[in-house]
Chain A
Amino acid sequence: MSNTADSTGPTGPTGPIGSRERILARIRAAVADAPDAPEVTRDYLDTHTPDAAMVDLLAENLADYRALVHRTDSATLPDLLMRLLAEHGSRTVLVPPGLPPGWLAAADPTRIHDREASTARELDEVDSVVTGCAVAIAETGTIVLDGSPDQGRRRISLVPDHHICVVRVPEQVVASVPQAMPRLDPTRPLTWISGPSATSDIELDRVEGVHGPRTLEVVLVED
């Protein structure tokens, strides 16, 4: 257990009492007389959406935040990915190690593999990235990546300017945030993505396109 107060110098006239102990003691003194706090009552809803409406709502909310949404089946997925990469003019595409090999079978761009040794500058030269996802949330129009082999390191879906994310429907789709939580592993680094990079910093109005991928395409694959 680390305690920098001991390593970075004295913390007060009283001697080597670490800030950790001081803060904990202050907390205990501060709440000593406070009544016990109740367990949390969770009267909020588990979902706001009927199951049948889930996928359409996902598509609608993704599009509302300016993601480009495509719907297809697994047989035509390779052709669709080929077309999307071509339309974006991509010459190179980043590929996570566990991306299903068939997905890019028809695609023309040169494959760049997700390697630990790659530098951020090298990734910045790549035109596009194709990933899977861990879960998609209909009510918020969110896709969540968890670094699994079909998604790769966090930076590969960040530095290239064009991200295509494939969602398997319906098995990867949940209605709501509360339904997503138990399906995610908090020990993995997670990235929740809701539309392309945006900012509200100029007059509190949303503008798409800052540091993350400025084009986000989400492909919903349903058989």
Chain B
Amino acid sequence: MSGTFVGMPSFPRAAKEAVHNKTLRGNLRHATHTIRDKRAKAVAELADWAELREAGKQIKDHTLRHLDRYLLQLEERVTAAGGTVHWAADADEANRIVADLVKATGESEVVKVKSMATQEIGLNEALEAEGIAAYETDLAELIVQLGDDRPSHILVPAIHRNRAEIRDIFRTKMADWGRAAPDGLTDIPADLAEAARLHLREKFLRAKVGVSGANFMVAETGTLVVFESEGNGRMCLTLPETLISVVGIEKVVPSWRDLEVFLQTLPRSSTAERMNPYTSTWTGTADGDGPKTFHLVLLDNGRTGTLADEVGRQALRCIRCSACLNVCPVYERAGGHAYGSVYPGPIGAILSPQLRGTQSEIDASLPYASSLCGACYEVCPVAIDIPEVLVHLRERVAGQGGKGHRLEKAAMKAAGWVLDHPGVLGAGERAASKTRRLHPSKLPGAGAWTRSRELPEMPAEPFRDWWKKNRKPKPDGTSKPDGKKS
């Protein structure tokens, strides 16, 4: 199937194709600008946004420092509440655990809540290979699945599709997967939502096994938390007899009270709402209410490797809000597919190469898929300094001997692509240059965990200006840099 990232071209090639797709660019521009303005308003409602952001960062840093302790506490509490905890070192192991659990129920289909972790490990494809059908129930995931497509955004995987394209996918594909689209389906969003409601309802009502991820896991109580909008999450979490949740180990937080921070920052950062329509929390199994059997699969899959990197580990603070995608001038032009990963955009550019390593061409090019404008850091609700990690990863790619040389060349091509498309940098870089002066070189109040390192300085001369000065035209009309990368 085409819905895979295997064999993806490196970022510059994929991005070059994407910028020439006018529909894609129009769709992305419309969607990201809509959400950008709304987010700013939602954040402005809270006078203590900076303090919430700092607390969120500290909670995550503290957890990561003591991750072993909190995971063990979580395991104990989930088990005491009637759940079963499994540990998966990598994608294959997680997929095998889930497939075995589903088979043990005797069922051959599962309903799924949108989950980045299960996308990351390719769970749907692994289940399909075992004869188990996995139905995505989030509207955007449904659009991607029906269209045999790939996700292009963390929150809205079908952001690259406009309403007319969605209508066409529903009209032509829904019947293959179950209830067909209603006759005369229009492209009015409410009608499209209604079509999804009708199509999925029969699957919810008969479902015996649900598969989810989780936004947070609370160590002190053993509670899992899922934020959602449509009610598909509630359907999958409460109607089936068996619930299997696959969650990255970095999703744990120490205390119930810690959620009060993220319940305020996540909805405003992701959908620009004061609160998303539905949030479900559950602790093991409940008597007579919801699934009788609950399995939690704790997933490593490169996270402990990321944790070992002093600079790069901050990427594990990510709460998958996708605010950084929506403000990124490179993402807006290139689209999510160019990043060759389920994690696109700025966070993907630092997460994917750490989870997967920088050996492949696409992963080596990702740290260069940025103009370092810093807009991503500005909006991050857990203050991940994405530009700092990008620079750090560029050093790693450049330091890879032999094969690394080829990779660095591919990566520099990516930088060249970004820098040769001045519109990409546009307002983002200018805004960041202005605000960069305001950035402290150390984050206040964070103590030793962040005191161990300096924040990167904004160069006095923007990289783009340096690029213009230092490149020479080549005979074929293209250009390449002449000087050494600063």
A residues with a Cβ closer than 8 A to B are: 1-5, 8-9, 11, 18-20, 22-24, 26-31, 34-45, 48, 61, 65, 116, 119-121, 124, 137, 139-142, 147, 153-155, 158, 177-178, 180-182, 186-213
- Give 1 or 0 for each of B77-98: 1 = CB within 8 Å of chain A CB: 0010100111111000100110
Q: A29-B308, A35-B451, A209-B197 are in contact. Are A4 and B87 (CB under 8 A)?
A: yes
Q: Contact: B58 with A38, CB < 8 Å? A: yes
Q: Contact: A40 with B263, CB < 8 Å? A: no
Nearest Cβ in chain A — how far from B76, in angstroms?
Answer: 8
Nearest Cβ in chain B — how far from A163, in angstroms?
Answer: 11
Q: Contact: B139 with A201, CB < 8 Å? A: yes
Nearest Cβ in chain B — how far from A61, in angstroms?
Answer: 6
Distance of A195 Cα from B228 Cα, bound (Å): 12
Cβ of B290 < 8 Å from any Cβ of A? Answer: yes
Cβ of B300 < 8 Å from any Cβ of A? Answer: yes
Q: A26-B304, A154-B238, A158-B234 are in contact. Are A202 and B139 (CB under 8 A)?
A: yes
Distance of A78 Cα from B271 Cα, bound (Å): 37
Instruction: List chain A residues, Cβ under 8 A from B260.
Output: 177-178, 180-181
Nearest Cβ in chain A — how far from B109, in angstroms?
Answer: 15
Instruction: List chain B residues, Cβ under 8 A from A18.
Output: 87
Instruction: List chain A residues, Cβ under 8 A from B261.
Output: 44
Nearest Cβ in chain B — how far from A62, in angstroms?
Answer: 11
Distance of A2 Cα from B47 Cα, bound (Å): 45
Q: Contact: B79 with A2, CB < 8 Å? A: yes
Q: Contact: B277 with A186, CB < 8 Å? A: no
Distance of A29 Cα from B369 Cα, bound (Å): 31
Cβ of B120 < 8 Å from any Cβ of A? Answer: no
Distance of A119 Cα from B205 Cα, bound (Å): 8
Closest 3 CB pairs of A and B: A212-B231, A38-B447, A211-B231
Distance of A154 Cα from B68 Cα, bound (Å): 33
Distance of A191 Cα from B283 Cα, bound (Å): 12
Q: What would 14 A/B residue contacts be, using CB atoms closer than 8 Å?
A: A2-B84, A23-B87, A31-B67, A31-B308, A37-B447, A38-B448, A48-B48, A155-B238, A189-B238, A191-B280, A192-B280, A193-B278, A197-B278, A203-B163
Distance of A194 Cα from B308 Cα, bound (Å): 39
Nearest Cβ in chain B — how far from A81, in angstroms?
Answer: 23
Q: Contact: A24 with B230, CB < 8 Å? A: no
Q: Contact: A189 with B286, CB < 8 Å? A: yes
- With CB as the reference atom, state the residue of chain A lying closest to B85: A2
Nearest Cβ in chain A — how far from B119, in angstroms?
Answer: 15
Distance of A140 Cα from B88 Cα, bound (Å): 37
Q: Which of B192, B232, B304 contacts A27 (CB 8 A)?
A: B304
Does more than half of chain B's interface fall in helix, strand or loop, or is it mixed?
helix
Distance of A29 Cα from B309 Cα, bound (Å): 11
B residues with a Cβ closer than 8 A to A are: 27, 30-32, 34-35, 45-48, 51-52, 54-55, 58-59, 61-62, 64-68, 71-72, 75, 79, 81, 84-89, 93, 96-97, 100, 137-140, 143, 155-156, 158-159, 162-163, 166, 189-190, 192-194, 196-197, 200-201, 204-206, 218, 221, 223, 229-232, 234-235, 237-239, 249, 256-261, 263-264, 271, 273-283, 286, 288-290, 298, 300, 304-305, 307-308, 310, 313, 445-449, 451-452
Q: Contact: A201 with B158, CB < 8 Å? A: yes
Nearest Cβ in chain A — how far from B162, in angstroms?
Answer: 6
Q: A23-B249, A204-B156 are in contact. Are A39 and B62 (CB under 8 A)?
A: yes
Q: Which of A40, A139, A199, A209 contacts B58 (CB 8 A)?
A: A40
Q: Which of B138, B277, B300 contacts A197 (CB 8 A)?
A: B277
Question: Known pairs A39-B62, A141-B274, A197-B230. 6 more at Cβ < 8 A?
Answer: A26-B300, A30-B304, A44-B55, A48-B45, A158-B238, A189-B286
Q: Contact: A203 with B277, CB < 8 Å? A: no
- With CB as the reference atom, state the residue of chain B lying closest to A212: B231
Q: A38-B446, A206-B271 are in contact. Are A27 and B86 (CB under 8 A)?
A: no
Q: Contact: A139 with B229, CB < 8 Å? A: no
- With CB as the reference atom, state the residue of chain B lying closest to A187: B283
Nearest Cβ in chain B — how far from A67, in angstroms?
Answer: 10
Nearest Cβ in chain A — how far from B83, in angstroms?
Answer: 10
Q: Contact: A48 with B275, CB < 8 Å? A: no
Distance of A207 Cα from B86 Cα, bound (Å): 38
Distance of A163 Cα from B86 Cα, bound (Å): 37
Q: Contact: A210 with B193, CB < 8 Å? A: yes
Q: A61-B274, A197-B277 are in contact. Are A5 and B189 (CB under 8 A)?
A: no
Q: Which of A44, A147, A186, A212 contacts B289 (CB 8 A)?
A: A147
Instruction: List chain A residues, Cβ under 8 A from B451.
Output: 35
Distance of A187 Cα from B72 Cα, bound (Å): 18
- With CB as the reference atom, state the residue of chain B lying closest to A205: B34
Instruction: List chain B residues, Cβ under 8 A from A34.
Output: 65, 310, 449, 452
Distance of A207 Cα from B277 Cα, bound (Å): 11
Q: Contact: B34 with A211, CB < 8 Å? A: no
Nearest Cβ in chain A — how far from B299, in angstroms?
Answer: 9
Instruction: List chain B residues, Cβ under 8 A from A31.
Output: 64-67, 307-308
Nearest Cβ in chain B — how far from A139, in angstroms?
Answer: 7
Q: Which of A5, A45, A204, A209 contacts B87 (CB 8 A)?
A: A5
Distance of A137 Cα from B283 Cα, bound (Å): 22
Instruction: List chain B residues, Cβ under 8 A from A11.
Output: 89, 93
Distance of A22 Cα from B299 Cα, bound (Å): 12
Q: Contact: B34 with A203, CB < 8 Å? A: yes
Q: Contact: A4 with B97, CB < 8 Å? A: yes
Nearest Cβ in chain A — how far from B307, in angstroms?
Answer: 4
Q: A201-B158, A202-B163 are in contact. Are A38 and B449 (CB under 8 A)?
A: yes
Nearest Cβ in chain A — how far from B147, in angstroms?
Answer: 13
Distance of A182 Cα from B257 Cα, bound (Å): 8
Q: Contact: B232 with A177, CB < 8 Å? A: no
Instruction: List chain A residues, Cβ under 8 A from B66.
Output: 31, 37
- With CB as the reference atom, state the residue of chain A lying closest to B310: A34
Instruction: List chain B residues, Cβ under 8 A from A45.
Output: 47-48, 51
Instruction: List chain A residues, Cβ under 8 A from B307.
Output: 26-27, 30-31
Q: Contact: B277 with A193, CB < 8 Å? A: yes
Instruction: List chain B residues, Cβ under 8 A from A137.
Output: 275
Instruction: List chain B residues, Cβ under 8 A from A120.
Output: 204-206, 239
Nearest Cβ in chain B — how far from A20, in angstroms?
Answer: 4
- With CB as the reference atom, state the residue of chain A lying closest to B288: A116
Q: Contact: B289 with A200, CB < 8 Å? A: no
Q: Contact: A211 with B162, CB < 8 Å? A: no
Most buried by B among A20, A178, A204: A204
